[in-house]
Chains A and B, each alone.
Chain A
């Protein structure tokens, strides 16, 4: 969740202390934000090193803007999530595009979904990779809305604040993004062990 858990007044006071170079303020903010931002990065990118880069870059921007922080104007969590999700989306889209059917080691490397192996780590990793590949192909705003809603579990009002749009726009972006994801992933549902009896009928 984007709320780092500080009341707004305490958050503003921390930012003022940060601007004066108080190392305890930086440590408090980092302790709350780093684990959450790292989770956002790894869930969106599936890569720890890239996620760490995003955490570092996001907090560097927070440190730099501390002197210009306007008390009562914004929440730290909202601001930080906006920066981080933008950075993650940029990275996702810069990756070498992979076809959804591409599987490291070949298709035979996937466990056979018919033999109850769908829960293995390999299948899980492959499903996650397929989702990220499809996410990377979406328009950036759709990808952000879908990731914040379904990977981060944020509410529509929280996403609206982060993306600086209305709640209805969030609903629209999420719905269109989900439809586009489903269309892109439909051809490889069977390979990912997602074909239900109903689908096969």
Chain B
């Protein structure tokens, strides 16, 4: 006569553990890849031109000042490129042709004599 099983459920738990461990064994790489594909990602960095504009804005003392500076720069560029008519009228070139100045005329003879 054998001793009674101290835990009648023990063989069932053993079976479930062994069976479960057998199923869990094996390659995990595909599962790891799927899990990590869902992982949080770092926030996207702003584009280069945005970072450059932010630096300029800081240098100019803030966005409103940077906007004024940019507007002035664009206006200057437009004027320089297209030369609006009123500006052309304001500057027609010099009225009197400049003459070359002979600053040493009085010494010509002296120099010629050597």
B contact residues around A6 at 8 Å (CB): none
Instruction: Check: A190 CB closer than 8 A to any chain B CB.
Output: no
Instruction: Check: A160 CB closer than 8 A to any chain B CB.
Output: no
Minimum C-beta distance from B46 to chain A (A): 15
- Given A21-B41, A23-B39, A39–B12 Cβ distance below 8 Å? no
B contact residues around A154 at 8 Å (CB): none
Cross-interface CB contact of B38 among A51, A63, A123, A128, cutoff 8 Å: A63
A-B contact count (CB 8 A): 127
Minimum C-beta distance from B29 to chain A (A): 10
Say whether chain A's binding surface is mostly helix, strand, loop, or mixed: helix
Chain B's closest residue to A134 (CB) is B12
Instruction: Check: B34 CB closer than 8 A to any chain A CB.
Output: yes
A contact residues around B15 at 8 Å (CB): 123-125, 127-128, 131
A 118-130 binary contact with B (CB < 8 Å = 1; else 0) = 0000011101101
Minimum C-beta distance from B2 to chain A (A): 5
- Given A48-B23, A124-B19, A192–B12 Cβ distance below 8 Å? yes
Determine whether the beta carbon of A38 is less than 8 Å from that of B28.
Answer: yes
Cross-interface CB contact of A21 among B2, B17, B35, B40, cutoff 8 Å: B40
Instruction: Check: B1 CB closer than 8 A to any chain A CB.
Output: yes
Minimum C-beta distance from B30 to chain A (A): 9
Minimum C-beta distance from A172 to chain B (A): 17
The complex places the Cα of A42 from the Cα of B16 at a distance, in Å, of 9
The complex places the Cα of A33 from the Cα of B11 at a distance, in Å, of 28
B contact residues around A198 at 8 Å (CB): 1-5
Minimum C-beta distance from B35 to chain A (A): 5
A–B complex contacts, Cβ < 8 Å, 19 sampled: A21-B40, A23-B39, A23-B41, A30-B32, A38-B31, A39-B21, A46-B16, A47-B23, A56-B31, A63-B39, A124-B15, A128-B16, A131-B9, A131-B15, A178-B9, A194-B5, A194-B8, A198-B4, A201-B1
Cross-interface CB contact of B24 among A42, A128, A178, A196, cutoff 8 Å: A42
Instruction: Check: A170 CB closer than 8 A to any chain B CB.
Output: no
Chain A's closest residue to B1 (CB) is A197
Chain A's closest residue to B44 (CB) is A21
Instruction: Check: B65 CB closer than 8 A to any chain A CB.
Output: no
Cross-interface CB contact of A127 among B12, B24, B32, B38, cutoff 8 Å: B12
B contact residues around A132 at 8 Å (CB): 16
